[in-house]
Amino acid sequence: MSNSKNIFNKTVMPVGEMASGAKLTVPVYSYKTDGFVGPSVYIQANMHGAEVQGNAVIFQLLELLKDCNIKGNITLVPYANPVACNHKNGEYTLGRFDPITGVNWNRMYHFDESVIAPFADKFIDATDGDIQQQFKQLMLNEIEQKLEHNIFGLTTGQRIAYQLQRLAHQADLVLDLHTGPISSKHLYCPEYAQASASYFDIPHTILIPNDFDGAMDEATFCPWWYLQQAYEAKGRTFEMGQGIFNKESFTVELGSQEQIDLDVAHQDAMGILSYLQYKGVIDAPNYQPQEMTRYACYLKDYKALYSPMGGMVDYLANFGEPLAAGEPLARILRMDNYGDGDPLHYVALDHPVLPILHFASASVNQGTELYKVFSKFFELNAE
């Protein structure tokens, strides 16, 4: 499927069982490179059921990788959550939350900060290579303990998440492909990895703190960040992004849910390959980031706007275009007020914002999340 150095493989990974005994499985595609010298990569899609565009992007990546000189191992997992993929209600896919526990499927990954300090104490004088090898094994052992030695068992969501995380912990670079409801493309990027954001063909970047809140990206970069902090507290310093800490993880938001577009997916895949070229995973200089204006904001300034009333919403603001203070994002139709009141209500903010996504339905209750916006934004300059 590629040059003689690259070995392509497909396996099927069981991740659970249904009440009937039928097994839940996900496909796992990989390129293994003999004597690889580049970073290893893990890419997954469709952890949330309605967020399907990532599967099309993985298809296009597999097609494009056939013709690439691959320098590092690459693992790709579409349909990562078979329960969510199949959680339908009429024509809609509801798979954002575990229907049994109510927990967001993307908030079930594991990281125990308490293992960091003892590890740093034990390996304070170890070589960079030994630290990387031993710490990766510790992360894998933590997941193995959760999967195989938990006497009280696991929820369906935890079992799926931990098996995906076991694959992700074996990689240096992790991409978790998602979408919004009705959304522009945007990227969740660790603050320390800001330089990498300009190598994706994505116009909007949310810079997230180096803290763990249960998501896949955090579960795979936070342990290494916390490890660096522990070593620095003991007087041993490393530069993030080099040496043993060449670890980056991103949540890549590919647009809107409940639809795929294979042509757009081809462009998305080329953008991902631009990042992989930059990181030395592939040797394909033709993959370069597009020239575009890229905007960013910090997570604390990524704000949700909630509807001040119930009604039918006409979403007015265009994604990715700065909206001046006082300009309306939406207007709400209240036919019950027609003839004896004001049937139209405009929703605006008192400062400039950059709209990123909005609710999927025109029918909203008071308190429904209408938009998410960059409240304080700035241009993201290339490295």
Domain for residue 269, yes or no?
Answer: yes
Give the pLDDT band (50/70/90) at residue 357: very high
- Sequence length of the chain is 383
Q: How far apart are CA 47 and CA 323, in angstroms?
A: 32
- Flag whether 78 is in a domain: yes
Same structural domain, 251 and 366:
no
Same domain for 244 and 223: yes
Which tens digit of pLDDT belongs to each residue from 43-66? Answer: 999 999 999 999 999 999 999 999
Residues 236 and 351 in one domain: no
Structural domain range at position 285: 6-292
Among 274, 292, 310, the domain boundary falls at 292
Clarify whether residues 352 and 243 are in a common domain.
no
CA-CA distance, 58 to 64, in Å (whole number)?
A: 10
Residue 382: inside a domain = no
Same domain, 288 and 306: no
Rounded Cα distance between 127 and 243, Å, is: 11
Q: Are 285 and 322 within one domain?
A: no
pLDDT interval class at 91 (50, 70, 90): confident
The answer on 280 and 307 residing in a single domain is no
Total domain count, the chain: 2
Mean pLDDT confidence for 249-258: 97
pLDDT of 19 > 80? The answer is yes
Say yes or no: 249 and 350 in one domain.
Answer: no
Q: Which of residues 292, 326, 342 is at a domain's end?
A: 292
Q: How confident is the model at residue 243 (pLDDT cuts 50, 70, 90)?
A: very low
Residues 254-273: what's their mean pLDDT?
97
Mean pLDDT (the chain, rounded): 94
Same domain, 202 and 111: yes
pLDDT score for 244: 53
Residue 325 has pLDDT above 60, yes or no: yes
Q: Does residue 363 surpass a pLDDT of 80?
A: yes
Say whether both 345 and 316 belong to one domain: yes
CA dist., res. 295 & res. 198, Å (int): 10
Q: What is the pLDDT of residue 4?
A: 46
Residue 178 covered by a domain = yes
**pLDDT reported for residue 3:** 47
Query: Tokens for 132?
Result: 């990387």
How would you list the strands of the sheet with 204-208, edge to edge? 6-17, 23-33, 74-77, 41-45, 173-180, 248-256, 185-190, 204-208, 295-298, 378-379
Does the pLDDT at position 377 exceed 70? yes
Q: Same domain, yes or no, for 353 and 219?
A: no
For the domain that residue 71 is a member of, what is the CATH number? 3.40.630.10
What CATH number does residue 341 fall under?
2.40.50.100
The answer on 360 and 272 residing in a single domain is no
Q: What percent of the chain has pLDDT over 70?
A: 97
Domain boundary among 242, 263, 292: 292
Least confident of 35-39, 82-86, 130-134: 35-39
Per the domain annotation, does 383 fall within a domain? no
Confidence of residue 2 (pLDDT cuts 50, 70, 90): very low
Mean pLDDT for 30-43 is: 89
Using alpha carbons only, give the angle 361, 366, 369 rounded to the nearest 5 degrees.
50
